Amino acid sequence: MASLTGLHQRAGIYHLRVLIPTDLRARFGRSAFRKSLETSDRSEAELRGTVERARLLALFSVAKKSQGPLPSLSKQTQKVLEPLEGITLPAQVSSNPTSATQTGANTDSQATLASTSKRAAVNPQAGPALYAEMPTLKELYKRWLRVKKRTKSSEQACLLAIETCDKALGRLPVDQLTRAHGDAFRSWLQEQSISLTTARNRFVWVKSLLVYAYRELELIPKQPWEGMEIQVNKAQTRRPWKDEELQQLFSQPLFTTYDTPKGKKSGSDAAYWVPLMALYSGARIGELSQLRTCDISLMDGIPILTITDAGEGQRVKSSASVRSIPIHPELLRLGLLEYVQAIRNAGHDKLWPILRVDPERPGLTLSNWFGEYRRSIGLTERYPDFHSFRHLARTRMARSKISEKVMDSITGHETQGSVGKTIYQNVNLADRIEAIQAITHPITLPRAYTSPRMEAAKRGGRRKSI
């Protein structure tokens, strides 16, 4: 069987490219149609490609006979409109452009194909099809949603960015968005009553859709806003905790007598252990909030904390965030392993059974509680906050001359360089232990833990069948 004209593979997925006749290119505003066939199977790609090519050839045939706006179909053509779902292509429709136009009986068939192509372009539910008309950002967004499962917060953030862009620039087809539009939108965002971070995030969301239109769908010849950014003032970045601030925080009854608060917002035991675990590991609050009892284990006899997205509902920031961290000797002295065993014995999967964990932002509830607690004891400045523990841990390791790649393996930062992930995985356990032991602080805590505060555990955390 001869290869289908215009069929090619990119990243394992078959794509189709159909050239537009020279005399129609000005009317279509491009020289070719490009489309992902959304399959890695060649036979399936041949079938889908044949259908798509036939649709386009029929559309070109109608366009040559019509002088109206594209696509323009006659009343006679409209009478034969039928969905193509389930239709078997007639034998004379092949990959040869001549065969699709020479047969006299093809007129109605071509009109049907052209009409279906038009209808699929404006109806995303009609199945995979090329856009007969260039989509707007909002139309592109609807297709982007179907590529893979998105979090609700991501969907909402992207949609808000699109609506903001439409407000600033008008609702334009994506191929009409120029670099000048990007500059205008960037300037407009920074003039609004929103933070620079919010402005940057909305700009980035729109850029991501343009990248999707360029790289994935090949709707536009380039990403017109490439390299354009909104810079956030570096002065707004967090700072590590000062020694006197650490002493003020950890001299409170919560940490000296295990006087844990009640309720889902603090997680009771989580209010004690999570800040200490962040202090002695640099882990993120979301990573620590979603821990399960099985995430505490032994590796070559060394107690290890595993940060992972393997469990139900667990999330990580990036692939580099998945890691195993030796548990700091100070946490062992304070009784962390005994706490973990007690929670296991009680039949709980979650390490903090009563903590409320948001499915999309696992650390949100505890972060809000910690902010209120910090202010209640007199630490009222914006910084340091919980995330500043992460900065502090890295500062302590750097002071002890721990290498960048080893620090990255502890904190879960993306390692720079073309072989970053490979380097990251080759950090041995001994190097990680040395890095953890380099995290020291000028505080001395008594061992206050005796048993978990389980009074509200029945309201949270799924129990195992035992």
| Spatial separation of the C-alpha atoms in residues 398 and 400, rounded to whole Å | 5
Q: What is the pLDDT of residue 254?
A: 97
Query: Whole-angstrom Cα distance, residue 309 to residue 362?
Result: 12
Residues sharing a CB contact under 8 Å with residue 270, sequence separation 6 or more, in sequence order: 289, 351, 352, 355, 366
Tell me the C-alpha distance between 140 and 150, whole Å: 15
Reported as type and span, the H/E element at residue 226 is: none
Q: pLDDT confidence of 25, banded at 50, 70, 90? A: confident
pLDDT in tens, 93-113: 333 333 333 333 334 434 433
| Domains of the chain with CATH codes | 7-126 (no CATH), 137-234 (1.10.150), 243-459 (1.10.443)
Amino acid identity of 200? R
CA 402 distance to own-chain centroid:
31
pTM of the full predicted structure? 0.56
Q: For residue 115, is pLDDT > 70?
A: no
Q: How far is Cα 194 from Cα 190, in angstroms, rounded to an integer?
A: 8
The C-alpha atoms of residue 282 and residue 279 are separated, in whole angstroms, by 6
- pLDDT at position 429 is 94
Q: Which two tokens stand for residue 231?
A: 């810079």
Q: Two tokens at 38?
A: 């959304």
Token output for 383:
């910084």
Q: What's the chain's average pLDDT? A: 80
Assign residue 149 a region (left: φ > 0; alpha: ψ between -120 and 50; beta: otherwise). Answer: beta
Assess whether pLDDT exceeds 50 at residue 124: no
Q: Mean pLDDT lowest for which of 24-28, 195-199, 355-359? A: 24-28
Give the confidence band of 27 by pLDDT, cuts at 50, 70, 90.
confident
CA 181 vs CA 161, 214, 221: distances in Å: 15, 17, 16
Contact call for residues 446 and 333 (beta carbons, < 8 A)? no
- Span of 126-135, 258-267, 271-280, 455-464 with lowest mean pLDDT: 455-464
Q: What is the mean pLDDT of residues 439-462?
A: 78
Tell me which H or E stretch contains 409.
helix 404-411
Q: Which residues of 418-436 are buried (b: 16+ CB within 10 A; e: fewer)?
A: eeeeebbeebeeebbbebb
* Integer Cα distance of 46 and 2 in angstroms: 10
The answer to whether 191 and 198 are in contact (CB under 8 A) is no
Find out whether 445 and 331 touch, Cβ atoms under 8 Å: no
Residue 216 DSSP code: I
